[in-house]
């Protein structure tokens, strides 16, 4: 998969923070890939929780959580926003994949749920 037209990958797009990021990207006209482990869940979350998503330039991508699969997904991306948590459990594969794919990653843990 080439990410040349969608340079931002939101990994964990079905979660609360991931949906907020997708809404922000949509509002600012930034193309993105909404990625995660369950494509149906991501699609449902986008349709029911991201206002105006029908106007966004995005694709839903289902990926298994391995460094190899994530490297393939992240290759060609300029930025990867990792909202998958808990970060201590799921972060290492994401960082490894970003390094292998030469992508800039935003993996700082952030809780938007209080």
* 79 contacts 55 by C-beta, under 8 angstroms: no
pLDDT band at 61 (very low <50, low <70, confident <90, very high): very high
What is the SS3 string spanning 36-54? Answer: ECCHHHHHHHHHHHCCCHH
Preceding omega of 79 cis (within 30 degrees of 0):
no
Q: Give the mean pLDDT of the chain.
A: 87
Determine the 3-state secondary structure of 68 from DSSP. helix
Report pLDDT for 103: 72
In tens, the pLDDT along 31-40 reads 999 999 999 9
Residue 88: which residues within 8 A CB-CB, separation 6 or more? none
In tens, the pLDDT along 11-30 reads 999 999 999 999 999 999 99
């Amino acid at each position: 998969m080439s990410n040349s037209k969608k340079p931002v990958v939101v990994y964990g797009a079905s979660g609360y923070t991931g949906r907020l990021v997708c809404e922000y990207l949509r509002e600012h006209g930034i193309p993105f890939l909404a990625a995660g482990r369950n494509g149906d869940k991501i699609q449902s979350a986008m349709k029911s929780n991201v206002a105006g998503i029908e106007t966004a330039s995005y694709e839903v991508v289902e990926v298994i959580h391995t460094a190899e699969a994530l490297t393939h997904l992240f290759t060609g991306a300029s930025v990867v926003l990792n909202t998958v948590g808990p970060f201590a459990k799921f972060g290492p594969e994401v960082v490894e994949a970003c390094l292998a794919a030469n992508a800039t990653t935003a993996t700082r843990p952030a809780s938007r749920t209080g």
